[in-house]
Structure 1
Amino acid sequence: MSQSIKYSHFDVNGAGDVRRNVAIIGAGLVGSLAALNFARMGNEVHLYEYREDIRTAQLVQGRSINLALSQRGRKALAAVGLEEKVLATAIPMRGRMLHNVRGRTSIVLYDPCTKQCLYSVGRKQLNELLLNACDEFANIHCHFEHKLAMANISEGQMQFKVPKEQQLISASADLIVGCDGAFSTLRQHLVRTPGFNYSQEYINTGYLELCIPAKAGEFQMPPNYLHIWPRDSFMMIALPNQDKSFTVTLSMPFEVFERIKTHQELLDFFRKHYVDALPLIGEEQLIKDFFKTRPQHLMSVKCKPYHFGDKALILGDAAHSMVPYYGQGMNAGMEDVTLLTSILNQQLPLDEALAQFTESRWKDAFAICDLAMYNYVEMRDLTKRLSFRCRKFLDTTLFRLFPRFWVPLYNSVSFSSMPYSQCIANRQWQDKFLNKALGFSLLTSFLIGGAIYARRFR
């Protein structure tokens, strides 16, 4: 048996101007942001989440890795009036603090020219802020503990499993929007439609979350940096929290995790590779956190199109899940909403608007997935190389001298709204330019040296 719920459309101004009934699957960061934007356009929005309300839940399940808020996410939050609230409690991170195997540190600033920075924000705190904003709209209706079980996307029909009910709950919508993460249920339905392309890739790297607690109510490390312990094929990172602790993420190939079987092996491993972090975490806490769970998998998802006619759409991780090493997963998902809203405001027929969104977005989504893979290599290995430092210095110098002509890759990704695909194209021509300049310099030096040599022996 199933119970059917019918929702009326929202009359935006009482004069017969009927807007769409939109169902959003997933009340995470992207889903709640999408709900705010659809509601602000006058649509009747129903927000469905399979978990309980995080604002009242005692234990929030799922990833708790901190988020690095950058320009794209800030722009999306500003559009719904929440940027200042978020930044009021966020912790600015001005660069990377690199920890070598001896425990010595060095700093690489993100943007020494214009002083832009990333902001460390808590996933739960940000999600609560967005959900509280949703509560202020009479045309947003939140349904927690509703897990999507079935969707007939061509008809706009859905069925949800609700633990408190002994039957499926049915619902309908003019548009179904999937913001339900990397393992999206709505995307699974889209995969079955003709013409939908989909690929996923698991990397041979897992992650465990650890913690550096506060000590005497203060941070144990400088808080305004993303801390990185690069170790060639693996690494550890730490982001500051508002409670003066650090969320630590240990990323290693699964075979490295598997070699650590005993408490002593774990302590020996940390004494060898993370000598300065061990006393900050604490031996007992490290052992407890390391062995209480298995390392989690990471995957990258690419697919297109992101829509089905004028009936369904996927956003965020449901459309382009990526490994977390560029800190762009949330920012890219929020930028999806920014782009979608700008297209919908053009008042195109909905099928044309959604098709335009797919066409405008898929190349950039593929690009940031690739960039995230690259940045893992950079963080775990390249950051400690002299060649990386030299390139960083050269990029910074040229950016300082020619800010409109030369924008470094990291700046374009994190501190601008330049399309991700254009960020890559920009880096490629920069590489070619530098290669030609280096070749010209070497040739010039060779010719000058040859002339001096010939004159001396003449």
Structure 2
Amino acid sequence: MQTPKKIAVVGAGLVGSLLAIYLKRAGHQVHVYDRSPDIRNIEFSGRSINLVMSDRGWRALEQLGLDEEIRKIGIPVDKRAIHLGTDELNYQRYGNEDQAIFSLSRGILNRKMIDLAEAEGVEFVFESKIWDVSLSTATLHQGETERGEWHDLEYDIVFGADGAFSRIRHRMQRQSMFNYSQDFLKIGYKELHIPANSDGTHKLDKNSLHIWPRGEFMLMALANTNGSFTCTLFMPHEGENSFEQLKDRATLVDFFAQHFPDTKEVIPNLVEDFFKNPKSYLVTMKCFPWTHNDKVALIGDACHAIVPFYGHGMNAGFEDITILVEMMEKYGDDWEKIFKEYENSRKPNADAIAELSYRNFMEMSSKTADAKFHLQKKIEKWFSAKHPDKWKPLYSRVTFSHQPYAEALAEGDRQNEIMQEILTIDNIEEIWETEPIEHRILDLLKDKKEA
């Protein structure tokens, strides 16, 4: 058991709320500050991408006994449904028959996490603007404006869980030997909406991630428990087939009629939603170190914001917490050691999931409509079923296991090299499910291992 500390968490999002519960259960006094109003009292819509919970996120909840509470507000999703512009859908299972990710509304989940944290005794302070922190003393500086009068809030430890544009990290960036980078994609997104049927049922299969892959742009949809779907249109900000071009009603309607014809009946408020909801940006942010002595630590998006295409922003943030808690249990009151081990363990894995997330946009927007890609997935699934000890697909490594992201990325690259060689074999489309192909993959695995 640790010596009780007075701890502040800046940021009442998903990671901040869950971290607060862990810290409270460890015996600490925990205050959570957020500059926004209490999300439970406002409508949350317009700039969200539905979240997907996978094994890494579930583990963090299971250790607290909170997983069943969250399952009640989610929908299992076991496959992709690829809309190719025809009436026929192409389904791609994520894993084995019993494996699924869970679709969750960000707003509903965030409200639930705050409720659960308050029930543990965590104190939340909303509409409280934290402008700076004194790193050496873990003192927060709060005020109405950035240049107005500030009040000091003294703590033993401060956690920055305040997102990609973290104020806590902003202070750390002004220290020597602090590395920082941010990379905005040329692609942005807008939220759209598929309402429920009049009887409350879903208009599309609720247990699928629906994808309309169109190369440089795509549409996707994930189900909500109320019968609706949250849709997200991803496309370039400028240039051909971009947000820049969709300036008026007629152009927008023609664009969707051409590229997403099967959405006409399911997105009745296309024009209203498109012009009402803001265009949002996508950024990858990396930094190091994540901590300062035994006083301040960054967690979640505040130290590793990633693009959403693998669905692992929340899962990676929750996994940060499980690793931090492991270090707390291992090193007791030695917070400087806890922080060093935490950041050194997580940094390479945060970089790996950032890379995987970036790559997955290309897979979702282009490769899901490619025949060779479909064949590759079939071969991988077939071979994995015959040799589960020798081959686990990359997606399963990332989503349905706790293997470190960096190891999963390295193994995925090795497997992809093998598959690219297999796909060059003459008549592979006809002979892929045969013993010679099986033996060839086994030989290549052996060669790669020995290399």
| TM-score (norm. length: structure 1) | 0.88
Shift of the alpha carbon at 1:61? 7.0
Aligned residue number for residue 13 of structure 2: 28
Is residue 291 of structure 2 the alignment partner of residue 291 of structure 1? no
Q: Give the letter aligned to residue 380 of structure 1.
A: S
CA deviations on 1:298-328 (whole Å, 9 max, x unpaired) are 1000111111111111111111101111100
For 2:210 and 2:46, the matched residues in 1 are separated by 23
Change (3 A) 1:104 1:440: closer
Aligned residue number for residue 133 of structure 1: 116
- Kept after mapping to 2: 8 A contact 1:101/1:272: no
- Kept after mapping to 1: 8 A contact 2:376/2:419: no
Shift of the alpha carbon at 1:38? 0.9
For 1:119 and 1:75, the matched residues in 2 are separated by 13
Q: Give the letter aligned to residue 215 of structure 1.
A: N
Which ranges of structure 2 fall in alignment gaps of 5 or more residues? 437-451
Matched position secondary structure for 1:412: helix
Is residue 364 of structure 2 the alignment partner of residue 382 of structure 1? no
Aligned residue number for residue 453 of structure 1: none
Aligned residue number for residue 84 of structure 1: 68
The 5 A counterparts of 1:26-425 are: 26-55=11-40, 57-60=41-44, 63-111=47-95, 113-138=96-121, 140-162=122-144, 168-216=150-198, 217-255=200-238, 256-282=242-268, 285-348=269-332, 349-425=334-410
Percentage of pairs with the same residue: 36
Shift of the alpha carbon at 1:72? 0.6
For 2:3 and 2:378, the matched residues in 1 are separated by 56
For 1:122 and 1:439, the matched residues in 2 are separated by 42
Which ranges of structure 1 fall in alignment gaps of 5 or more residues? 1-11, 449-458
CA deviations on 1:348-374 (whole Å, 9 max, x unpaired) are 511111011111010000010111110
Q: Which entry has the higher C-alpha Rg, 1 or 2?
A: 1
For 1:76 and 1:53, the matched residues in 2 are separated by 24
Matched position secondary structure for 2:343: helix
Aligned residue number for residue 442 of structure 2: none
Q: Give the letter aligned to residue 116 of structure 1.
A: Q
Change (3 A) 1:213 1:236: same
Aligned residue number for residue 452 of structure 1: none
For 1:269 and 1:137, the matched residues in 2 are separated by 50
- Kept after mapping to 2: 8 A contact 1:145/1:162: no
Shift of the alpha carbon at 1:375? 0.4
Aligned residue number for residue 441 of structure 2: none
Change (3 A) 1:373 1:357: same
For 2:47 and 2:250, the matched residues in 1 are separated by 28
| TM-score (norm. length: structure 2) | 0.89
Change (3 A) 1:18 1:429: closer
Higher mean displacement: 429-438 or 128-137: 429-438
What is the root-mean-square deviation in Å for CA atoms of aligned residues? 2.1
- Kept after mapping to 1: 8 A contact 2:7/2:158: yes
Change (3 A) 1:379 1:439: closer
CA deviations on 1:180-211 (whole Å, 9 max, x unpaired) are 01111101011111111111000000100000
Matched position secondary structure for 2:257: helix
For 1:82 and 1:128, the matched residues in 2 are separated by 14
Shift of the alpha carbon at 1:110? 0.6
Matched position secondary structure for 2:32: strand
Q: Give the letter aligned to residue 420 of structure 1.
A: Y
Change (3 A) 1:329 1:153: same
For 1:259 and 1:101, the matched residues in 2 are separated by 21
Shift of the alpha carbon at 1:103? 4.2
